[in-house]
């Protein structure tokens, strides 16, 4: 959704871009870059997996609890 959708084009060509989405869209399909990374599929699952890989699980749980009371 614009204007957010065009932000990935605003960075230099040497800057890695990360797309987390159900499908490959926008410039990731019609103008891919060498350093692009796409996590495709269920967005919530993808973010949870990324948080786990980065070792941020505890911090994320604390943030969710603080913001939602759950």
Q: Which domains does the chain have, with CATH numbers?
A: 4-68 (3.40.50.1220)
Distance in angstroms (rounded) separating the CA atoms of residues 48 and 56: 9
Q: What pTM does this model have? A: 0.77
The CA-to-CA distance between both ends of the chain, in Å, stands at: 30
In this prediction, residue 28 carries a pLDDT of 92
Helices (H) and strands (E) in the chain, counts: 3, 2
* pLDDT tens readout for residues 12-65: 999 999 999 999 998 999 999 999 999 999 999 999 999 999 999 999 999 999
Q: Is 39 helix (H, G, I), strand (E, B) or coil?
A: strand
Nearest-Å Rg of the Cα atoms of the chain is 15
In this prediction, residue 2 carries a pLDDT of 76
- Evaluate if residue 6 carries a pLDDT over 90: no
């Amino acid at each position: 959704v614009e204007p957010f959708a065009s932000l990935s084009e605003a960075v230099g060509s040497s800057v890695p871009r990360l797309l987390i989405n159900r499908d490959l869209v926008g410039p990731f399909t019609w103008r891919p870059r060498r350093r692009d990374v796409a996590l495709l599929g269920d967005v919530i699952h993808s973010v949870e997996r990324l948080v786990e890989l980065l070792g941020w699980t505890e911090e994320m749980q604390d943030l969710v609890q603080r913001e939602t009371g759950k």
